[in-house]
Amino acid sequence: MSHTLTDTYGRRITYLRLSVTDRCDLRCFYCLPQGFTDFEVPEHWLDFDEIERVVAAFADMGVQRLRLTGGEPLVRRGLPDLAAQLSSIPGIDDLSLSTNAVQLAKQAQALKQAGVSRLNVSLDSIQADRFKQITGGPLDKVLRGLATAQQAGFHPIKLNMVVMKGVNDDEVEAMVQFCIEHGYTLRFIETMPMGDTGRDAADHYLDLREVRARLEQRFELVDAVMPGGGPAKYVQVAGTDLKLGFITPISQHFCDTCNRVRLGVDGTLYLCLGQDHSVELRPHLRQGISHDGLVNLLTEAIARKPHKHEFREKPTQVVRFMSQTGG
């Protein structure tokens, strides 16, 4: 490691979330609007070798954790091949994947063999009709994907539930029981005002402190930790193996300890989920920038990372959808 990535606020950047596509085979109403087609053109996608170059530069500066995201990463053709390329980069100690699991049954074994070690799966409901209302997709394929991933040896498998008032908040306890029975980790997430869809979902915002208080009336919760580079705060349900995570970007933001940046499928490096600070890497890559030049470019980019998002103060500020940012 020849450099370290530290921003102007003293935060060391060790985690890259890498979007391999902005497309998705679901349409969660808080993420992508029905009928949306304004996706990035394939000619602007970073190819696998370009992605590998960027990740190698980040790894050279101390980034150890890499997460493949989207959109839905499993719709990117050849994803296991890319995972194998990236898992072999010196310095990348943890390669994980975020997915909706619709296509996971077909790819779980190949991804495991390619070096993906952990999975995060979006699952906002375990009621088939409600799942379809939220996502437009089939719950049975997701459950089949989860079971196949367990058989392939993935552990832990973390389920991400965006808890929304009046939509699925009545399923919180049922989701806890589901995860106890099946051996999954469960993480609750607050809605965020990303794009028009995210702002429309703001009417369903629920402070997760209320969810935790509800759960404490039914379960004994003790502090716990989990592997991973993300912001979740974990507890364990006493008497079980279940760990619960709470991701609270609105009620209790975690900007002071932010250790991550996001790379869009088009090579845009987003320095904050809730701000517009970004740097375009694709033009430099296609003009033949050297490895040292790329390292210098990333160092300069990290110096522009803002101190915090402003979801509460400026909820209309970010107009891009979550799928464009990279999860």
**296-314, pLDDT tens digit by residue?**
999 999 999 988 765 554 4
What is the token pair recorded at 208? 């997760």
Mean pLDDT of 278-293: 97
Q: What is the per-residue pLDDT across 45-81, written as a single tens digit (0 to 9) for each?
A: 999 999 999 999 999 999 999 999 999 999 999 999 9
pLDDT of residue 313: 47
Distance, CA of 205 to CA of 188 (rounded, Å)? 12
pLDDT of residue 179: 98
Mean pLDDT of the chain: 90
pTM of model > 0.85: yes
pLDDT of residue 312: 54
Say whether pLDDT at 269 is over 90.
Answer: yes
Say whether pLDDT at 205 is over 50.
Answer: yes
Alpha helix ranges (H) inside the chain: 48-60, 79-87, 104-114, 128-135, 139-152, 172-182, 195-200, 208-218, 282-286, 291-302, 322-325
Q: Length of the chain, please?
A: 327
| Phi, psi angles (nearest 5°) of residue 259 | -120, 20
Mean pLDDT of 21-34: 89
What is the Cα Rg of the chain in Å?
A: 19
Distance, CA of 69 to CA of 116 (rounded, Å)? 12
Distance, CA of 142 to CA of 121 (rounded, Å)? 9
Mean pLDDT of 106-117: 98
- Domains of the chain by range and CATH? 15-160+254-325 (3.20.20.70)
User: What percent of the chain is modeled with pLDDT above 70?
Assistant: 89
Among 47-51, 193-197, 212-216, 277-281, the range scoring the smallest mean pLDDT is: 193-197
